[in-house]
Amino acid sequence: MPVTLRPYATNDFETLYQIDQACYPPGIAYSKRALRWFLHLPSAECLVAESEGRLAGFILAEHLGAVGHLITIDVLEPHRRRGVGTALLSRMEQGFTARGVREIELETATDNHAAVAFWHKHGYRTVRVLRRYYLDNLDAFFMLKPLTAAKEP
């Protein structure tokens, strides 16, 4: 299934919310209010992946100066392990690099083994454990990846 990436549009909101609810358990998935808040941050960037006219996933991030923060990456189950997450992440990283971001940080649950493997595969490294980060009882890894500027031809 070919996937098309495009910027988030406000009429995507309900579908993004439903995707997030499907991807994460209650308490970790964002409320509508929280998701809306992140999408309206001044430096927020959101890309969506479409497959056969329907949203398959999205990535939401922000940056402040040279530091980017990956807020969430969500891919619906039928589209996982098909390159959708990698495509979203690569496009976001390229955009960040072009805007002078030199490092991306993120948090992921220590028991989300698939996510940890995904991040490691894409060059993210664990810096420390954030105790009781999720739901005040689930630890998270704080991970970083340095970005390198594109080389001049």
Residue-level pLDDT at 149? 62
> Are residues 59 and 47 in contact, defined by beta-carbon separation less than 8 angstroms?
yes
The pLDDT of 101-119, averaged and rounded, is 94
Work out the mean pLDDT of the chain and round it to a whole number. 92
The pLDDT of 101-109, averaged and rounded, is 96
Residue-level pLDDT at 83? 87
Residue-level pLDDT at 78? 85
Residue 127 has pLDDT above 60, yes or no: yes
Closest CA to 115 of 64, 66, 65, 59: 59
Q: Between these two residues, 41 and 152, which has the higher pLDDT value?
A: 41
pLDDT digits (tens, 9 = 90+) for 26-72: 888 999 999 999 999 999 999 999 998 899 999 999 999 999 999 99
> Are residues 85 and 51 in contact, defined by beta-carbon separation less than 8 angstroms?
no
Percent of the chain whose predicted confidence (pLDDT) is above 70: 96
Beta pairing class for 103-109 and 67-75 = parallel
All domains of the chain, ordered by start, with CATH?
Answer: 4-146 (3.40.630.30)
Residue 23 has pLDDT above 70, yes or no: yes
Residue-level pLDDT at 82? 87
Say what the pTM is.
Answer: 0.91
Closest CA to 88 of 151, 23, 140: 23
